[in-house]
Every structure is written in C-alpha cells, then in structure tokens.
Amino acid sequence: MSGDHNPPNRRTEIDAHIADGNVDRAASELRELWRREPGSATASFVSARLDQLRDKLPLSKFKLAILRSFTVEPILPLLRAEAFAYAIEVEIHLGDFNTYVQEIVDAGSSLYRFAPNAIILAVRAGDVAPDLAREFAALSPEAAQQAADRVARNYEQWVHSFRQHSQAVLIIHSLERPAHPSLGVLDSQTETGQSGRIRQINRELRRVAGEVRGVYILDYDALVARYGNAHWHDERKWLMARLPIAADHLLHMAREWTRFLVPLAGRTCKALVVDLDNTLWGGIIGEDGMAGIKVGAEYPGAAFQALQRALLDLARRGILLAICSKNNPDDALEAIEKHPGMLVRAKDFAAMRINWGDKSQNLREIAQELNIGIDALAFLDDNPFEREQVRAALPEVFVIDISGNPLEYAGAVRDCPVFERLSLSAEDQQRTSMYAEQRQRSDAEHNFQSKEDFFRYLEQEADLDPITDLTLARVAQLTQKTNQFNTTTRRYSDAQITDLAKQPDWHIFSIKVRDRFGDHGLVGVAITRDEGDQCEIDTFLLSCRVIGRTVETALLAHLAKSAAERGCQRLIGWFLPTKKNAPARDFYQQHGFVRGETSNSGTLWVLDLKTSTLASPDWIKLNVAAAATTR
C-alpha cells in the first residue's frame, strides 16, 4: 500500500499553476491526477480547486438537485471530480433527509427555486416502503400487495406533481431487492414474495417513466449487483451516519450518476475512433499476418471479440465507428474483411485512416470527413504513447484510458459515459449506413459542372411536418446536439419542446430530407415566436449532414411564407456566435435579411416580408403538411 498515494508533488504543481493563472495547465493536471488516483481524498482536492477555477474554464454548468433518504454528502466531491473529467461543472442542491415529498409537491419549495436541470430521487426501499423492506413477515399476502400498490401510486403522484412544477429531468433510483429475503429460497419461487413486491414497484416505476417525458430510472439494484451486494453495503456506517454504501463504492455511485449527467449536459461523443493492432485484435497484422493475429471465440481472441461486440452495440446507439491505425492499408483491410474471427467489418466503419501518419492529424481528418467537431471524437488505443500524443495535441478528443489487459477493453468502452444516450431516434439506429450514402454523394458531386446541376441530380425531397409525439424526441435532441449550423444554440429538453408546442404564439417546424442516395431523416428544426406583427426565429438549425444542399433555404422560405400568412410584417432572427457556429454566420445575410441591432451576444437580422423575394429552390420537392402551416 505504501507509495501508492501519489507524493504531493503533482498537487503542489497544480496549486502553483493556479497561483500563476495558468488555468488550462492546472485543469489538465487536475484531470490527470483524477485519472491516476480517483477516490475520496483526491476528490476533495479536485473539488476545492474547482471552486477556484470553475469561472475560468470552458465547463458546461449543470444544476443538479438530489432528494434523498440517506447520507450522500461524501459522494458529492466524487461526483464533482468525475463530472469535471467530462468538462461539466455540477452545482448541487441537496434536500434534507426524507423531505423529498414536501419538496416535490410544494411549488414554492427550495427545490424549484434552485431551478435545477435535473433531479435525482435517491430513496431506499427501507425508507419509502419500510413495511415491505423490514416487516414483511408481519404482512398478509393482501397487505403486502396493498403496500406495493400504495408505494407505486405514491411515486406516480410525485412524478405528476413534479412535472406540473418543473420541466427538469427526473432520475429515480429504483428500489433494491432484499439481499436476504424474508422467505429464504421460497421467496424466489413466487412473484408475491418480498422480492416480487419490490420488483412490482420497480415495474410500475418504469411504466411511469415511460409515460412522462424526461423521467428516467437508475437501476439501483443492477448497480449494487454489479459490484456485489455483500461488498456494496456497510451496515455500521448506516447505523452510525445513515450512509448505506461502503467507502469503496461511493465512487461507483458517483459514476452511475455521471452516466446520466454526461448526455444531459451534452458532453457525449458522436464517434469512436479505434486503433487496430492489439486493440481491435491481438498481435500486429504487419508482423504476425492473418494466421497470427488473435481474434475469435477462444481466449485470447475472445477478449477482442468482446470489444467488437461492444463496438457494435455503440453503433446501434447511433455512435459512428472509425479506424485510425499505423499500418499498411492492404494488410489491415484484408484482416478486417477476411479474418473469420472478426465481428466488425469495413461496412461498420464510417471513416478509416490506415497509414503511417501522425494520429492527431488523422483524427482531425476523420472529424472533418464525418462533419463533426473534434470534441465529438473518442479515441481507443492500447498504446499509452499514442494516447498521450493525442491528449497533448488535441485536448478536445476524449481519450479512453485502458490498462494493458485486453479482457478489460470491452468494459472500458461500455462503461464510458460519453456513449450514453437517454433516447434513441430512428436516425441514431441507422447512422452508419447514412454515412456510407454520404460517401456516394460526395463522389457524385465531383462529376458535375455546376452546383445547380448537382442539386438537380440529387432529386431532393423534403417533408415539412408539424411536431408529433414521434418526432419530439428527435427535435429536442437536435437542439441539444447541433453546434455548427445553429443560429442561436438554444438547448431544449423533451419536456420544454412539449411545452413550447402548446403555446399558441410559438411554432415548431421540422424538415425531413431524402434524395436519390437515401434518407437523411429529420435533419432541420426551426422554432419561431410571433410577437405583434413580427415573427422571431428563436432557433434555426440544420444537421451537418445536409449543410450546403440548399435545404436551409427551403426551410427559411417556408418560415417566411408561414409568418406572412399569419399576418406578420417582418421575420427577424438573432445570430449568436459561438466557437462552432461559423457555418451559420452569413445565413441571414445571404437570404436578404438586413442587419438590425447588435448586442454583446450577437446580431439581429431583419427581413421585410412585404418586399422579400425569398423562395424555396425549385430543385427541392416540398411536401408541406397542412398542420405545419395553420395548426
């Protein structure tokens, strides 16, 4: 054990960097410290330094309320340090012990005054259902059923009450089944035993979460099981300090919360770039050859198959896969396409850079080819040198830390919060094939004399539809994820979009696009608000897949037409510059808007609807649903 605790040198250096105002260096050293020795002591150190640095660093602010029936205070520094690894600054409101019901039902409670982005309801079975959890033997079968029904109903009422007062996300800890059920092995033979009743409540919780937008379940039972029930709990700390979780597992609780915070704070990655030799397979293809590399159903190849299965699971979540490897491309491609043990093939990768060049340069090119930001890339490589090189050259890339043991690779990918998604759209599930179609389009583009010829050849068709239950999640997701072609970069949750859709003066437009190569899906969103005789564009965004295909003109022309039909004289819109939205900078100007007022945050653009000649390009076939224009 001795020598395991890092000498305080790194800590002293961090404090020196902070004193010198060298905030970027301090931040990267803090993250390095956390990677090397995550735990309670380090978390306190990191958390205290974050208090000094947070206003000087580009962090996503996230307001989190935790309502609880047990002590969580020692977990909070761990949560702050862990969230910081994903560039999130968590501000926490902590409810008092067991006051969650009052806080939820009282619209004027400190919970709602805090205006959280998300709320975690961390309540244990022993507190919310004490009779089921502790006095089960005293309950008749009818009484046990009534108790479970009552608890489920209570949760449902809290959720509905909560949704009336707040649009924030709600994350509910499911209830934990007893480690030693009242009926012993007999308990497992029936659904009406102690475990069965707890399961019943959890099923009801899941149903409610499915019915109310922005409500999610944290499977506490599964979390405890992952680390082992007997190890997770510390009865002495529970009796002494109302802390039910053993010291070793406080970090795991913080990490489970972080799996929700990362997607909620928009810190997810859109693509995972993997190395080949000793990452995707065992051995070095250039030296060991097809017969020598390890990948297959048996050990050691099984470890690499496990990683490949994890990659395929990510692809199904809409995460793009790419390859960055120092190899001869012919050797590598032959192994990918022909090796019998490979589960991923060339078609599963949206981009490949197999060459002897610098990896950070290759990663830049991959981001460009996929049309996503560098900070949307995650990188997996067994070689610590390559990881450090990428970290130093491209600090925006999320570099996954792996040990030298291939058996742990799949878990490292599966546990990584940057790949978590809280909802999936149809677009997510077929993203890789969309990128393959994109490659064909790019190839086609080169063969045309003029842009217009190319646009006509594309045979684009666009549907302008009103927002529906089916498209709502995708619309909210686009507001959360779109950074480049986005005039105002305003982020909306599912619940906020639902709310806006009900306002009579607000209009939400979505555009779906397809062309001769395939279906892009729902790729554009515009949100407008009428105020007197003018219509303000609150949000105008377009997925990067369709930028430069004049789809934006079609959508804007539709907004103008629809505003004019409602009697508006002017269409106005702010452009609020960010680090990333340069592609949308000249958008309004190019479409005949004139410069209006300027503020610290941006420029207002104005289009006079009486004199405007803005029209949709004739090479896009438009299908306008009636409700999108009139509602």
Partner 1 sequence: MSASTFDEVRSIASDILGLPVARLTADSSPETVESWDSVQHLNLVLALEEKFGLQLSPEEIEQMKTLGATATLIETKLQSTPR
User: Which residues sit at the interface with partner 1, rule CB under 8 A?
Assistant: 1-5, 7-8, 11, 39-42, 44-45, 48, 73-74, 77, 234, 236, 239-241, 243, 246-248, 250-251
- Closest approach of partner 1 to the CB of residue 8, in Å: 6
Beta bridge partner(s), residue 303 = none
Q: Look at residue 107 and give its three-state secondary structure.
A: coil
Q: Residues near 186 by Cβ (< 8 Å), separated by ≥ 6?
A: 193
- Measured from the CB atom, is 239 or 290 closer to partner 1? 239
- Closest approach of partner 1 to the CB of residue 19, in Å: 13
- Measured from the CB atom, is 42 or 460 closer to partner 1? 42
Query: From edge to edge, which strands make up the β-sheet containing 60-68?
Result: 88-94, 60-68, 118-122, 169-173, 215-218
- Closest approach of partner 1 to the CB of residue 26, in Å: 16
Sign of CA dihedral 363, 369, 374, 378: negative
- How far apart CA 166 and CA 163 sit, in angstroms, is 5
- Measured from the CB atom, is 72 or 413 closer to partner 1? 72
- Measured from the CB atom, is 230 or 626 closer to partner 1? 230
- Closest approach of partner 1 to the CB of residue 108, in Å: 28
What angle (nearest 5°) sits at the alpha carbon of residue 138, between those of residues 134 and 140? Answer: 120
Q: What is the DSSP string of 153-164?
A: HHHHHHHHHHHH
Do strands 88-94 and 570-575 pair parallel, antiparallel, or not at all (unpaired)?
A: unpaired
Tokens standing for residue 138: 């005293």
| Alpha-carbon 261 to chain mean position | 8
Residue 569 sits at φ, ψ, to 5 deg, of -95, -30
- Closest approach of partner 1 to the CB of residue 240, in Å: 5
- Closest approach of partner 1 to the CB of residue 7, in Å: 8
Neighbours of 257 (CB within 10 A): 26
Give the CA dihedral 469, 472, 312, 260, nearest 10 degrees: -110
- Measured from the CB atom, is 251 or 544 closer to partner 1? 251
- Measured from the CB atom, is 236 or 621 closer to partner 1? 236
- Measured from the CB atom, is 122 or 513 closer to partner 1? 122
- How far apart CA 141 and CA 177 sit, in angstroms, is 18
- Measured from the CB atom, is 40 or 430 closer to partner 1? 40
- Closest approach of partner 1 to the CB of residue 123, in Å: 21
- Measured from the CB atom, is 226 or 439 closer to partner 1? 226
- Closest approach of partner 1 to the CB of residue 444, in Å: 59
- Closest approach of partner 1 to the CB of residue 254, in Å: 12
Q: Residues near 444 by Cβ (< 8 Å), separated by ≥ 6?
A: 454, 457, 458, 517
- Closest approach of partner 1 to the CB of residue 278, in Å: 31
- The two counts, helices (H) then strands (E), for the chain are 28, 19
194 by Cβ neighbours in 10 Å (0-12 / 13-18 / 19+) ranks as: buried
CA gyration radius, the chain? 27
Peptide bond into 58 cis (omega under 30): no
Sign of CA dihedral 472, 477, 478, 479: positive
- Measured from the CB atom, is 7 or 58 closer to partner 1? 7
